Structure 1
Amino acid sequence: MFGRNSLSIHLENNHIILRGTSQESAGYVLRGFLLLQIHQPTRIKSIELNFIGQALIQDLLIKLIPLETKPYKRTIVEKNWCFTGDSASESEEPRIYQKGKYEYHFEMPLHGNIPQSIHTPKGNISYQFKAIARKSGFRTSLECDCSVHVERSFGPLPTDLETSLIRTGDVQGQMKFSVALPCCNFTTGQQIPIMLGIRPLSRGIKVFKVNIRLKETVRYRTFFEDWSDTHEERIDETSCIWRPKVSGWWEQPLVLKIPKGQSSVRADNKSRYIHLWHFIEVQINLVDLTRKKRYLTVQIPIHIFSEKLIESEEALPVYEATPVQPPDYLSSVRQIADISGHPSVLTY
């Protein structure tokens, strides 16, 4: 029984982390090979590989031009390979590939200023390889694809003690409040512990409930090279009922949860196409003596990073193996002694 022919893309690394800003980063060289496995003699006209990075944003309503909406699409980077000479043409004679494995190696330098990968409901920045082995006649060609994820690191993350965050305030001299976070940098799948404090200063205002929300905010580049309206999404929420005391601070620990899946929450991302950030919203619900409800809202910006980025910061750097072994130490010392006419002496 004959097996099926196959085509596949193999990369050294499909999750790339660029170090530094777009001006500082040295970029990255993507390396890999295309594997064609033939199980029975097959006529193939061409073997082609394409790499493309694109920014694609859906139709977005614009306040100034509400009736005109167009998608925003830009090609960031693109490269094509043809491993059988020139690209396929009708006059080109197909080549018969015998049973076996055929590897086609390639590399693709990426500039350090390319934007990070991101996928949102209204837009995405993606990088992808697509390969095709075109057969002769009407036979089905072999095709495959492989995605590449790009992230950016701006250096080691600060320690928790350096980034602990406390917000305080008062409401017309009638109430004081405080919101404390252990840090402002978090990872997908992590919990955010929050300490809420309230101290009443008079009987003119009463707190009856506090809502705390984790929100994700996105803005998109539009067809007219302008920024869209802000799109907010609630990621998680918790609340507590205020239990008054005669005097002193009333404190309540609360916890928000950051989901782990990319479909639920995305890491912070900023480029000329998409800007995504996060913040914690604290809403204190108040009632005055006339029973009129009032709301005090405090927004605290935080940063959310992917687990892959955190792991890369904690791991040791990866070095490529040198193709040539270094010379033996003793032979090197003898060569130096012969050249100088004197024995080598090591000093410290």
Structure 2
Amino acid sequence: MSLGSNDILSRTSRNKLYIKLVEPTIILHGSPEDSLGCFLRGELILNLTKPTKIKKIELTFLGKIRLFIPRADGEIASSNNFEEREVISHTWTFLNNLSSSNIDNDSDSNSNKSIHSNNSNKSLVSRLFHSLSSKKSDSSRYTILKKGIHTYPFELFLPGTLPESINTNVGRITYKLSARVLKSGVFTKIRKSQHVNILRTILDEWNQGKVVSNEWKNVCKYEVSFLKKAFPIGDCINIEMKLIPKDKDKYDLQYVHIDLVEKASYNLKTRPKPNVQESTICGIKLQDFIEEWTDKDSNNNYSSHIFKFDKNHSHQQQNDNETNRDESLNSKELCYHETISFRLPNSSFSIHPTYTSEPITISHDLKFLFCLRTFTNNNRLKYKKFTLIVPITIIASKCKDDILPLYYESENDNDSIISTASWDEISFDDVSLPPSYESSIYGSKNNSSVNLGVSL
């Protein structure tokens, strides 16, 4: 396996250590219960400017959960006060001469003690002899690597139950590769580390639409629809909103306020209850709406009749409106209709992906505040407000390129607001499977551990 870095490394003027990953961002597909996991693959590259005595070469992959401990009022006072535990740990040992070194050191110390007990005044000859024997034993404590580039490929299976990488003000989950080379002489260590970003995407939530419809206190009927349930950070949420007052002469829609609310909760072993923090990420206010007159539904099934959307019959509907333009408005209903584009912030610092794990949970809701104006019997102005909360899923922006685009049927369903997604059949005959779990995990001098069941 070659990652094309030989030309860059050959021009360096000093010893260098590099970590090159096949996939810098690891994406887990599906929920923790359904995900099959994936592989972490790469190369550890050591560039030597001259023949060098190397004692040990090792690489460690470590995942940690760190939760910050808040004050009594729930605020995070310092990032130095935290709880931490390991999620996964694995070590590759590519070269190790330290085991023989430890044996030699023990034998040397024992011989020194015996010589000292027999003769406290050692002669010059004995000291020279001991020095020569020590130099001979030193040669077995290292391996001389020639000048040039030395490549060590590595691979590790990552289970689908691993929590994703996240960094919030309440805690973080990080994964890191750390390489270390021990050599003889001055400046005996060469180190290199690199963070590994693990993300998760759920295809079902991405491709499924959502429709929320109801009636509020016999005042109005409303419907809010989305083409999908999951949205990448920085993406635009397209919302189809419709509202029909029960009495068009008594109520009219003044404005709609939409807020994106993020709620983060985390569990500490020192606290009996989870700590919850809620914040409003962004919001918009709408005051201009399209007013449409629609036929009353005798069955009161406005979701299937009033709100249906059929492009093929749009011209016919216009002709019908012209034909029936003299019809009494008493047989019509006033519908406030608007297509809304709600832009998510394109910053991983201001908004985080929706996240569910044992220590940290992050959820997102779109909060709709509807305000209707009415007049009392005394002809006094009065406002009526109600709130609609719709849960949505936010995913990392890097997951957007990993998801197939939506495909729609050519003919719209007359009883549905949104088009039904259809997927082409996919053949898996030519798809090559990854190496087996055993061949990637078990090997000489490799140690790994996964810890997912320890609660904080």
- Whichever residue aligns with residue 182 of structure 2, its letter is R
Give the Cα separation in 2 of the matches to 1:101 and 1:217. 49
1:207–1:242 CA contact under 8 A, matched in 2:
no
| Residue among 223, 246, 258 paired with 2:269 | 223
Deviations 1:14-61 (A, max 9, x none): 332334443444433323221100113444432221110111111134
Give the Cα separation in 1 of the matches to 2:352 and 2:52. 45
Q: Which residue of 2 aligns with 1:274?
A: 360
Larger RCO (CA under 8 A, 6+ residues apart)? 2
Note the aligned Cα RMSD (angstroms).
3.8
Q: Which residue of 1 aligns with 2:423?
A: none
Q: Which residue of 2 aligns with 1:22?
A: 32
Q: Which residue of 1 aligns with 2:193?
A: 145
Pairing 1:192–2:237 present: yes
Give the Cα separation in 1 of the matches to 2:36 and 2:434. 20
| Residue among 88, 92, 102 paired with 1:77 | 88
Give the Cα separation in 1 of the matches to 2:337 and 2:434. 56
Offset at residue 138 of structure 1 (A): 4.9
Q: Which residue of 1 aligns with 2:348?
A: 262
- Return the structure number with greater helix share: 2
Q: Which residue of 2 aligns with 1:297?
A: 387
- Return the structure number with greater strand share: 1
Pairing 1:232–2:278 present: yes
Task: Give 3-state SS (helix, strand or coil) of 1:83's partner.
Answer: strand
| Higher mean displacement: 280-289 or 238-247 | 238-247
1:62–1:228 CA contact under 8 A, matched in 2:
no
Offset at residue 76 of structure 1 (A): 0.6
Give the Cα separation in 1 of the matches to 2:384 and 2:68. 38
| Higher mean displacement: 218-227 or 48-57 | 218-227
- CA 1:177/1:113 → structure 2, altered by over 3 Å: closer, same or farther? closer
Offset at residue 208 of structure 1 (A): 3.8
Give the Cα separation in 2 of the matches to 1:221 and 1:126. 17
- CA 1:153/1:193 → structure 2, altered by over 3 Å: closer, same or farther? closer
Give the Cα separation in 1 of the matches to 2:347 and 2:40. 26
Pairing 1:46–2:65 present: no
Offset at residue 179 of structure 1 (A): 2.7
- CA 1:180/1:53 → structure 2, altered by over 3 Å: closer, same or farther? same
- Whichever residue aligns with residue 281 of structure 2, its letter is I
- Number of matched residues? 317
- CA 1:87/1:150 → structure 2, altered by over 3 Å: closer, same or farther? farther
Give the Cα separation in 2 of the matches to 1:302 and 1:321. 33
Offset at residue 283 of structure 1 (A): 1.3
Q: Which residue of 2 aligns with 1:343?
A: none
- CA 1:22/1:173 → structure 2, altered by over 3 Å: closer, same or farther? closer
Unaligned runs of 5+ in 1: 323-348
Report the TM-score, using the length of structure 2 for normalisation. 0.59
| Residue among 4, 8, 19 paired with 2:18 | 8
- Of structures 1 and 2, the larger Rg is shown by 2
1:10–1:33 CA contact under 8 A, matched in 2:
yes
2:365–2:392 CA contact under 8 A, matched in 1:
yes
Give the Cα separation in 2 of the matches to 1:22 and 1:263. 25
Give the Cα separation in 1 of the matches to 2:47 and 2:346. 37
- CA 1:228/1:137 → structure 2, altered by over 3 Å: closer, same or farther? farther
Report the TM-score, using the length of structure 1 for normalisation. 0.74
Task: Give 3-state SS (helix, strand or coil) of 2:353's partner.
Answer: coil
Offset at residue 196 of structure 1 (A): 3.1
Deviations 1:58-115 (A, max 9, x none): 1134689x99x96231201112233321558785745544321112232223233221
Unaligned runs of 5+ in 2: 1-10, 106-137, 292-328, 406-425, 436-456
Pairing 1:179–2:224 present: yes
2:372–2:383 CA contact under 8 A, matched in 1:
yes
2:97–2:143 CA contact under 8 A, matched in 1:
no
Pairing 1:104–2:217 present: no
